[in-house]
Amino acid sequence: MAATSRTRISLVIILLLLEAIFTIQLQAIAGKPDLQLKLDNKILQESVVNLINDNAQAGWRASMNPQFANYTVGQFMHLLGVKPMSEGDLRGISVVTHKKGLKLPKMFDARTAWPQCITIGDIRGQGHCGSCWAFGAVEALSDRFCIHFGMNISLSVNDLLACCGFMCGDGCDGGYPISAWRYFVHTGVVTEECDPYFDNNGCTHPGCEPAYPTPKCEKRCKKQNLLWQDSKHFSVDAYRINSDPYNIMAEILMNGPVEVSFTVYEDFAHYKSGVYRHLTGEEMGGHAVKLIGWGTTNDGEDYWLLANQWNRSWGDDGYFMIRRGTNECGIEEDVVAGLPSSRNIIIEYGHVDVSHDASI
Ligand SMILES: *[C@@H]1O[C@H](CO)[C@@H](O)[C@H](O)[C@H]1NC(C)=O
Ligand SMILES: *[C@@H]1O[C@H](CO)[C@@H](O)[C@H](O)[C@H]1NC(C)=O
Ligand SMILES: *[C@@H]1O[C@H](CO)[C@@H](O)[C@H](O)[C@H]1NC(C)=O
């Protein structure tokens, strides 16, 4: 009697196990065609817009952003060009912590703090290339040249994208933000005037495929009278900033905008205004942008203020806000920057001083 019931229990267990294995296999088979189908879908969905806008607690508004009107899920994912780094790769990089006791303003916007620095408010466009890792870096360093040296320059994404090579990752197929800053230290970066971005017109014709490949490294200014080596601008160092929000705010207040990476989900493509937090949709990839300020809404929600590079027909005129202090989508985890170097800019310095003297 006891023996038969034991046999029966074993049989049931075996059957359950078999069923589990079978189900797992079925799911594995079903997984692939599903994803394939999704990559060809449009990234923007009315259902997502409605879900967000019908949720009074969302804290942000969604819309069918014109910038992505014709983007598929696959094309959108390609824009998210931050490659993950291993613990080992991160170990050698210095992490900056700021001394406590700085009086931080409740609200800060780098555009109004340094109104003479017009690049801070620039919204660029990365086109169809996964070059966000380069944009965030080049934009923050341009701003820092203005903040520290009083010069208006726009630095070149193309130089970094085309000439940093495998050190920085894989060009339009993604790269490492911290490697961009290291390139600024060792090789320097030319101006946008010398080497303009290759994909400024976007992909205007229908069915623009395959995506543009990474531009070739030519080390030659497109403008006749400019020299590649003379156009190089360097940074002193390349560092990470401690994830505690105090440190991030202190860094921006003292040195200017920083580059941050975070995880993008489907709903982020639909962001229009307000303070973003992830509410719906799958993980799409890692993205890098420029962090320019912070504040608190009337409802008491703390936020970060950022400039994206998806043109002005995405989000809040190209900008967005995201929750601050909760490491939303990892926004406080991977903050990188460097200080601008006076190397190679002696001539421009002289020029600035001369014109200043002349006006007195
Ligand atoms: C940068 O250029 C803008 C517009 O041309 C100008 O208003 C501003 O004063 C310049 N800033 C510096 C630091 O030269
Ligand atoms: C995106 O912005 C850039 C720079 O402002 C501009 O040159 C380009 O035409 C814009 N692209 C699209 C697709 O709107
Ligand atoms: C999207 O594609 C349609 C048709 O191909 C075109 O008319 C429209 O201008 C495109 N929209 C954008 C924002 O590129």
32-73 confidence digits (pLDDT tens): 445 666 898 999 999 999 999 999 999 999 999 999 998 999
pTM for the model: 0.86
Nearest CA, atom 1, ligand 1: 152
Mutate to test the pocket of ligand 1, among 111, 116, 119, 154 (most ligand atoms within 8 A of CB): 116
User: What are the angstrom distances between the C-alpha of 174 and each of 104, 111, 180, 308?
Assistant: 35, 28, 12, 16
Q: What is the best residue among 199, 201, 203, 204 to mutate for testing ligand 2's pocket, by most ligand atoms within 8 Å of CB? A: 201
Q: What percent of the chain has pLDDT over 90?
A: 76
238: phi then psi, degrees, rounded to nearest 5: -140, 120
- Provide the sign of the torsion angle of the four alpha carbons 125, 223, 154, 336, taken in this order: positive
Q: Does pLDDT of 322 surpass 90? A: yes
287 is catalytic: yes
CA distance 215 to 193: 16
Q: Is 254 in the pocket of ligand 3 (CB under 6 A)?
A: no
Per-residue pLDDT of 93-139, as tens digits, reads: 999 999 999 999 999 999 999 999 999 999 999 988 999 999 999 99
Name the catalytic one among 132, 163, 164, 168: 132
- Residue 91 has a CB neighbour count (10 Å cut-off) of 7
Ligand 2: list residues with CB < 6 Å.
124-125, 200-202, 311
Span 167-203, pLDDT tens digits: 999 999 999 999 999 999 999 999 999 999 987 765 5
DSSP conformation class of 69: T
Burial (CB count <10 Å: 0-12, 13-18, 19+), residue 63: middle
132 flagged as catalytic = yes
Among 33-42, 280-289, 344-353, the minimum mean pLDDT is found in 344-353
